[in-house]
Amino acid sequence: MIARIQNRQEDDTGEASDAGFHQAFATALMDEDPAAFPAGLDERAARRFAIYRNNVHRGLQEALAAAYPVVKTLVGERFFYAVAADYMRSEPQRSPSLALYGRGFAAFLADNDAVARVPYIPDIARAERAWLEALHEADAPAMMVTDLAGQEDRLISLCFRVHPATRMVSSNFPIVSLWRANQADRKQARQVPIPDRAETALITRPHFQVQMTLLDGGAGNFASQLLAGASVGEAFEYALAQDADFDVTPVFARLLASGMFCGFTLGDQGF
């Protein structure tokens, strides 16, 4: 069935109908019916309207595919583009820049009944979103381990300023292992067994290159406290309370090397 979208403000002059024209054209572009077209087009023009429709849909859906490549791999292209079509109608893009398109896609996936059968998919989407945000975040020099020279006696009191491009995503599923196994450059590699465990992804951007670091439970506890502004001592006590075997030294070294911080303060000592 052919749907004709009426110009709301159509009149006889044609001139004054431009406002109604944009509305009718835009509505028909996003119509669920692939044969929809704005009123007034002849048969050939109505058929060619599909070219604009395809361009619009492809533009938005390819932007989503570029932002969520691992989700696309995991759910398959057909399912991904079907969900992407629903998503583009559900959460219209406001900015003419598609660099950060798809902000709410993880939550949208979490509400999808079919996705619920693969419960780690929304968390993979959260990790991919964090990666994209980290890529485009503001620049700042990352703090290096050597910046702590001379602070050895006060380490326990230190609090850190978080680099703008730092993100952390915790999941009950092995999101980092799944993410790594499904990178385009790993697809040809031998299948690596995915461990059955909770994982936390720390995403940072040292030297303008985004990287994802796997944090186990204790490291995730410690890092989350530092990200929230706790001092090294407070974060250590928190992690130790969760896991009596928590070994802070190697974890602290890894976090510092990740580039997740861009400065430090001497906490409640008031410096």
Which residues form the interface with other proteins (CB under 8 A)? 14-19, 21-23, 25-26, 29, 40-42, 44-45, 47-52, 55-56, 59-60, 63, 92-100, 134-141, 143, 147, 161, 164-165, 205, 208-209, 262-266, 271
* Cα Rg of the chain (Å, integer): 25
* Closest approach of other proteins to the CB of residue 160, in Å: 10
For residue 164, the minimal CB distance to other proteins (Å) is 7
Cα separation of 235 and 156, whole Å? Answer: 9
What does the alpha-carbon distance between residue 46 and residue 69 come to, in Å, rounded to a whole number? Answer: 34
Nearer to other proteins, 73 or 93 (CB): 93
When the beta carbons of 147 and 237 are compared against other proteins, the nearer one is 147
If the CB atoms of residues 209 and 249 are measured against other proteins, the closer one turns out to be 209
DSSP 218-240: HHHHHHHHHHTT--HHHHHHHHH
Question: Residue 265 forms beta bridges with which residues?
Answer: 159
Count Cβ neighbours within 10 Å for each residue of 108-134 and write b for 16 or more, e otherwise.
bbeebeebeeeebbbbbbbbbbbbbbb
Structure-token pair, residue 66: 């570029």
Asked if residue 217 lies in contact with residue 243, where contact means CB atoms within 8 angstroms, the answer is yes
C-beta of 149: minimal distance to other proteins in Å? 11
43 vs 196, beta carbon nearer other proteins:
43
Burial grade of 212 (CB within 10 A; 0-12, 13-18, 19 or more) = buried
Name the maximum alpha-carbon separation found in the chain. Answer: 83
Could you tell me the smallest distance in angstroms from the CB atom of residue 231 to other proteins?
Answer: 14
CB count within 10 Å of CB 250 equals 9
Given the complex with other proteins, which of 113 and 208 has the nearer CB atom?
Answer: 208
Q: At its nearest, how many Å lie between other proteins and the CB of residue 196?
A: 34
Nearest approach in angstroms of CB 69 to other proteins is 16
Q: Which lies closer to other proteins via its Cβ, residue 198 or residue 257?
A: 257
